[in-house]
Amino acid sequence: MANLNCQKPRSFRAFIIAKYMQDDSTPCEIQKGIYLGSIGAACNKVALQSLNITHVLAVAYNVEIPFPNDFKNKNIEVLDSPDVDLQQHFGVCFDFIDEARRQGGGILIHCFAGRSRSVAVLVAYLMRTYEMALSQALELVKLKRPKASPNIGFLRQLQTFECQLACAKIARSEHSLAMER
């Protein structure tokens, strides 16, 4: 793990983190209690606490958790690369988001830039939880965070996930019809 100190930049990577802390440090509320942001938002303890964020989901590679003792944290270590299988982590991410909501807290979902990995996870969550189409979920996220832009590989996985959700819905309907007979 890289040593991430949210206060003092020591390397080029830390310099970029400091830039996000300056330019992109406010979590964007996408749905009630569900926030999206960059590493800058994850390093903004005052904002996290003021928004009642109790859980922080990092979908990033080689990023140390900024406040391990102040929030419930989960880190999904993945690169922002089109060939990465992000979908395999959806279940764990959904469970963590649902836990935050059940406990009455808010959740910040972030990656490094708050553009691709975290957006893809949140879009998948919205599709599953609110039965939104991919286009609908992505439009909602982009409306609130215009820089949202999952990479092409993650978009393909979201399309596959959309088909899986539709197939599961059809199977449930058919099962319900069969049970009524």
How far is the C-alpha of 151 from the C-alpha of 84, rounded, in Å?
10
Indicate yes or no: pTM above 0.95: no
In total, the chain counts a number of residues equal to 181
Q: Which residues pair with 58 in a beta bridge?
A: 75, 110
Does some domain include residue 7? no
Which CATH number characterizes residue 161's domain?
Answer: 3.90.190.10
Q: Is residue 114 in some structural domain?
A: yes
Residue 62's pLDDT is what?
Answer: 87
pLDDT, tens digit only, all 181 positions of the chain = 444 445 544 576 666 666 666 677 899 999 999 999 999 999 999 999 999 999 999 999 988 888 999 999 999 999 999 999 999 999 999 999 999 999 999 999 999 999 999 999 999 999 999 999 999 999 999 999 999 999 999 999 999 999 999 998 887 766 565 666 6
Structural domains counted in the chain: 1
Q: Is residue 4 part of a domain?
A: no
The whole-angstrom separation of Cα 102 and Cα 44 is 24
Identify the domain containing residue 147 by its residue range.
Answer: 12-180
Residues annotated as catalytic are 111
